[in-house]
Amino acid sequence: MVDKNKLREVTVGTQHTFKRETVEWEGQEFEIREPSVYVRGQIMNKSGMGISKDNSDINFSNAQIAAVIYCTYVPGTDDLVFSEKDVSMLQQQPSGGFVDKFSSVAMRLMNNEDAIDEDEGKN
C-alpha cells in the first residue's frame, strides 16, 4: 500500500531547488532563475497564453518582459533587479539587447531545458 505521507514528503515536503544561470552584460553579472509554478503562470498571463484555444493572442514581447522582470536577480540574493515599474523602459530596449538575452535564458529555464541545477554550484 502507498503511504500518503511518504508521497507528500518527496514532493511538497522537500526543499525547493530552482535552476539558475549567471549571465554577463556590460561587465556585470545577473542571475536568471527558473520561475516557480506561480511565477510561470504570471508570465504566461502577461503574455496572453491560454486566452484563446490556439494561443493566437500571445504577445511575445510581453512574455519576454515578464520573464526578465520575474526571473532576473542580483546574484546570490533574492533581490529582483527589475520591477513592474520598468515595463516601459524594457519595452524600449533594442532587439538583440539584454532583454532578448535575459529572456532567452529565462524562457529556457521556464521550460526546464538544459538548465543547471543550483545544487551543482555551476554557472
3 state DSSP class of 61: helix
What is residue 120's predicted lDDT score, i.e. its pLDDT? 46
> Which residues have CB under 8 Å from 62's CB, separation 6+?
46, 47, 48
**Dihedrals φ, ψ of 11, to 5°?**
-120, -90
All three cell numbers of 102: 535575459
- Looking at domain 19-113, its CATH superfamily turns out to be Phage tail assembly chaperone gp13-like (3.30.2220.20)
Please state, in angstroms and rounded to a whole number, the distance separating the CA atoms of residues 112 and 9: 23
> Which residues have CB under 8 Å from 46's CB, separation 6+?
62, 63, 65, 66
What is residue 91's predicted lDDT score, i.e. its pLDDT? 95
pTM of the model: 0.80
What is residue 70's predicted lDDT score, i.e. its pLDDT? 97
> Taking the domains of the chain in order of start, what are their residue ranges?
19-113
Could you list the pLDDT tens digit for every one of the 123 residues in the chain?
A: 889 999 999 899 888 889 999 999 999 999 999 999 999 989 988 887 765 556 567 788 999 999 999 999 999 999 999 999 999 999 999 999 999 999 999 999 988 644 444 444 444
